[in-house]
Amino acid sequence: MTALDTSPARPLAWDPVAKALHWSMAALIPLAWVLAIVIDAFPRESRGPVVYAHKTAGMLILALLVVRVLWRMTHTAPDTEKTPWEPLAGFLVKAGHGLLYLLMIVVPLGGIATSFARGKPVPVFGLFDLVGPWVDRQPFAGMVTEMHETAAHLLLIVAFAHAVIGILHHVVLKDRTLIRMKPFAKA
């Protein structure tokens, strides 16, 4: 968008749908991560339900992401709050959000690839199973698992940094960045 753009005025805050999608995913992503981390704490024969819960949380994240991207493409986002470090800060915010979107796509798709590489199906909310094209073969399965795990850790690290920056906006810069994303808050 350019300075000459006269198309619809930017809203002052994120709309309720964008907020609901943001906060439900902000809860589900760490949940999916924790479920994956605790899998190894269970004896092999009782890991099934935890793996199922992990895959289902991951598939829900993917489904919500599709809705979120479609919503984002069809609605105007509020303008980013200006900081004393423009234009660099504005560019970094866009790059950071872009990276988060990219990782939110790559990680669940990598999870599906991990299941397929292990010769395991992906349950889709108990409705049906997606069956992959591969049989379980090492070292391929191990390599795909490792890539999924690394991308998942990176997503959590970037999301954590993003949350800290959001809080710093509120506490140090005292701007409206966090308030605009606050559930149930008025614009």
Residues contributing to the site for ligand HEM (CB under 6 A):
22, 25-26, 29, 32-33, 36-37, 39-40, 51, 54-55, 58-59, 61-62, 72, 77-78, 80, 93, 97, 100-101, 104, 107-108, 111-112, 114-115, 122, 145, 148-149, 152, 155, 159, 162-163, 166-167, 177-178, 180-181
Nearer to ligand HEM, 39 or 66 (CB): 39
Nearer to ligand HEM, 62 or 173 (CB): 62
Q: Minimal CA–CA distance to 144: which of 107, 101, 169, 187? A: 107
The H or E element spanning position 128 is strand 128-130
Q: Give residue 162's identity as a one-letter amino acid code.
A: H
Compute the least distance from the CB of residue 6 to ligand HEM, in Å: 22
Compute the least distance from the CB of residue 171 to ligand HEM, in Å: 11
Beta bridge partners of 129: 123
Compute the least distance from the CB of residue 108 to ligand HEM, in Å: 4
Nearer to ligand HEM, 17 or 167 (CB): 167
Residues 79, 10 contacting (CB under 8 angstroms): yes
> DSSP 3-state assignment of 122?
strand
Nearer to ligand HEM, 7 or 125 (CB): 125
Determine the Cα–Cα distance for residues 187 and 60; give it in Å rounded to an integer: 29
Residue nearest to ligand HEM (CB): 111
Sign of the Cα torsion 96, 98, 100, 103 reads negative
Compute the least distance from the CB of residue 118 to ligand HEM, in Å: 6
Nearer to ligand HEM, 5 or 65 (CB): 65
Compute the least distance from the CB of residue 9 to ligand HEM, in Å: 16
Nearer to ligand HEM, 70 or 163 (CB): 163
State the CB neighbour count (10 A cutoff) for residue 31: 15
For the CA atoms of 170, 171, 174, 180, the dihedral, rounded to the nearest 10 degrees, stands at 10
Of how many residues is the chain composed?
187
